[in-house]
Amino acid sequence: MKRWKRALAAGAAAAMLLVLTACQNVAKDATVFIQGELDATYLGKINQDYIDVTNNMTQADAQEKYDYNLQVESEYLLSYLAVELPTDAVYQRAEEIVGEIYSHAQYTVADAELLKSGDIAAEVTVSPIEIIPMLSDELLADIWTAVKQEAGVSDDQVAAMSDEEYQQLDEQYAMAVLDELEGLIAQLTYGTDQTILLQMKEDEDGYYTLVESGLQKVDEIMIDYTGAYA
């Protein structure tokens, strides 16, 4: 599930093309593009310079990129937290929380360089957000137990529930966990900085695209789910 999510999010980002406006400015434009790509994806911050160097990009397209990433990340978050049958209300709440977490994203983009091969490379340094590991397995289990006790149901009764019945219980669990997560945002920290090399390859028409594997790595590191970078 984690690999699928990361690939999906990065694949959407890689579909955007950088316009090669002038050979002597391509590295500078690439830096603007990469900075704008990350700002749009994680902060919902849309810079006009980013719009200008990107092929057929509009403000609406950039906003859609942010909204899409919130949606995909929230789906991944809910899956990670063992929310099995999310309702629309749960999805909406999860997107709100992810947006709050992403607002704390920290990363820097070094000046891009034009390589002898004609490709472009730039280093991006990400400070992994450390918050998800604060939700321990014991805490999640305690929340689930409290939800079942409040509903007055046993494990056997839960197992016998219809999907509709279980979804109601699942929603209570999800909302309680998301409330807990929101309360931890003020306490979030950052793990050890990680530097990722992003590459852009030129096609036969003179357009550059970001290599997907680099974007996947940035996305994997931005929120540290397992404490791997703490």
The domain total for the chain is: 1
pLDDT at 210: 87
Higher-scoring residue by pLDDT: 62, 128: 128
**Residue type (1 letter), 75:** E
- The Cα–Cα gap between 130 and 192 comes to 10
Q: Is pLDDT at 178 greater than 90 in this prediction?
A: yes
- The Cα–Cα gap between 46 and 16 comes to 14
Q: Is residue 67 part of a domain?
A: yes
Q: Is residue 57 part of a domain?
A: yes
Report the mean per-residue pLDDT for the chain: 88
Q: Is residue 228 part of a domain?
A: no
* 68-87 pLDDT per residue, tens: 999 999 999 999 999 999 99
Tokens in use for 12?
A: 């959407």
Nearest one of 67, 96, 68 to 174, comparing CA atoms: 96
- The Cα–Cα gap between 50 and 17 comes to 11
Are 97 and 181 a contacting pair, CB within 8 Å? yes
pLDDT at 24: 58
Spatial neighbors of 96 by CB under 8 A, at least 6 apart, are none
Q: Where are the beta strands (DSSP E) in the chain?
A: 106-109, 113-114, 120-127, 129-130, 189-190, 194-202, 208-210
Q: Residue 21's pLDDT band (boundaries 50, 70, 90)? A: very low
**Residue type (1 letter), 217:** K
Q: Is pLDDT at 147 greater than 90 in this prediction?
A: yes
Among the residue ranges 16-20, 35-39, 69-73, 109-113, the one predicted with the least confidence is 16-20
User: Which domain does 102 fall in, by range?
Assistant: 2-222
pTM (predicted TM-score): 0.88
pLDDT at 154: 95
Which conformational region is residue 152 in: left (phi greater than 0), alpha (psi within -120 to 50 degrees), or beta?
A: left
pLDDT at 205: 77
